[in-house]
Amino acid sequence: MVTLNDIREAQTRLRGIAVRTELIESHIHQNGTASDTRKLYLKPENLQPIGAFKLRGAYNKIASLTPEERARGVITYSSGNHAQGVAYAARSLGVKAVVVMPANAPELKRQATQALGGELVLVGPGSLERQQRAEELARQHGYVVVPPFDDEKIIAGQGTMGLEILEDLPEVETILVPVGGGGMISGIATAIKLSKPSAKIIGAEPELAADAQASLRTGKISQFSAEQVTSTIADGLRTQSIGAINFEHMRQYVDDIVTVSENDIRQAMRRLAANSKTIAEPSGAVAVAAFLFHRDQLPRTKLNVAVISGGNIEPQMLKEIKQT
């Protein structure tokens, strides 16, 4: 299990690399009225150099490798944001990076990964398929695998967000976090619960890819089909199952997971897009969607934080969202 010291060490490694994003107070839930007295603060990870939180875990992992491991090069598998995080971190550290991505990943994310020096290998839409291909190439060429979420160094890197939230808002009562493979919520939950056990950690994921909720409630990891999860607009949360290491952290530290509809996600994106600092891609908006539209399923708390995990959205999609 990841410790608080692991996360603090990651915070030291990330200094000067990842942006120390500050909370933004938001009033998007009040719609011109004062009937909703809850306070919402946003953690804008869309402001990272790669437009998403994934830089934190990727850099912490690669920076922790031995010189011999770095010389072999790294490989990862990702639908987009982790791909960019690995490519960015590898370039910063002078390491070769190979990235296995689904062919249906947003063009914006594929181009950005290549621009950062990532060598792309394209496969089908399933998250298990890209993982298997990456592991196969690692065996053939000796690359070091940098998993997108199921890894303690990745978890510790993402956990630095939790430390920052507590620094900015020590009185925080509930933190809402998007859930795909579980790396981000594992890290944030560990940082928060080991520092302030009374705070609530709530995950949010699409109804169409609700494997994490199913896993947490049944007590065993649930796996969804690629056909099922690829039907959600939230391309960054299309993992077919959460990681084993992530599941152990989630069972220990996560209070609940709520699911949101595709319409919830679009409406949250539209409201967030009113402020250029909080523009969110679909995956980045799910925690805000949970806060906006599922109040009855959340703790009755006054001080709340929702993580905007990323803002890498295709211009055409953003235009359409704003017009809806």
Question: Which domains occur in the chain, in start order?
Answer: 4-52+151-323 (3.40.50.1100), 55-145 (3.40.50.1100)
Mean pLDDT of 101-121: 93
In whole angstroms, give the CA distance from residue 81 to residue 202.
22
In whole angstroms, give the CA distance from residue 299 to residue 174.
7
- pLDDT tens digits, residue range 73-82? 999 999 889 9
Q: Give ∠ CA 250-212-22 in degrees, rounded to 5.
A: 65
Q: What is the pLDDT of residue 126?
A: 85
**What tokens were used for 55?**
């830089």
Mean pLDDT of 212-235: 94
Given a contact cutoff of 8 angstroms between Cβ atoms, the answer to whether 276 and 15 are in contact is: no
Residue 93's closest CA among 134, 58, 123, 128? 58
pLDDT top residue among 127 and 256 = 256
Task: For strands 303-308 and 174-178, give the pairing.
Answer: parallel
**pLDDT at residue 31 greater than cutoff 70:** no
Q: What is the pLDDT of residue 143?
A: 98
Q: What is the pLDDT of residue 34?
A: 61
In whole angstroms, give the CA distance from residue 79 to residue 304.
29
In whole angstroms, give the CA distance from residue 320 to residue 266.
10
**pLDDT at residue 217 greater than cutoff 80:** yes
b/e burial code for range 13-49 (CB count within 10 A of at least 16 → b): bbeebbeebebeebebbeeeeeeeebbbbbbbbbbbe
In whole angstroms, give the CA distance from residue 102 to residue 83.
11
In whole angstroms, give the CA distance from residue 4 to residue 86.
23
Mean pLDDT of 87-112: 95
Mean pLDDT of 158-185: 98
- Provide the strand spans (E) within the chain: 24-26, 39-44, 74-77, 97-102, 119-123, 144-145, 174-178, 200-206, 256-260, 303-308
Sign of the Cα pseudo-torsion (72, 244, 20, 203, in order): positive
**pLDDT at residue 32 greater than cutoff 60:** no
Q: What is the pLDDT of residue 324?
A: 74
Mean pLDDT of 268-297: 97
Q: What is the pLDDT of residue 176?
A: 98
Q: What is the pLDDT of residue 33?
A: 57
Given a contact cutoff of 8 angstroms between Cβ atoms, the answer to whether 242 and 181 are in contact is: yes
pLDDT band at residue 19 under the 50/70/90 scheme = very high
CB-based burial label for 67 (10 Å; 0-12, 13-18, 19+) = exposed
In whole angstroms, give the CA distance from residue 108 to residue 312.
7
Residue 154's closest CA among 236, 80, 65, 241? 65
Residue 203's closest CA among 182, 225, 173? 182
- pLDDT tens digits, residue range 229-251? 989 999 989 889 999 999 999 99
Provide the 3-class DSSP secondary structure of residue 50: coil
Q: What is the pLDDT of residue 79?
A: 83
Given a contact cutoff of 8 angstroms between Cβ atoms, the answer to whether 154 and 184 are in contact is: no
Residue 180's closest CA among 154, 162, 198? 154
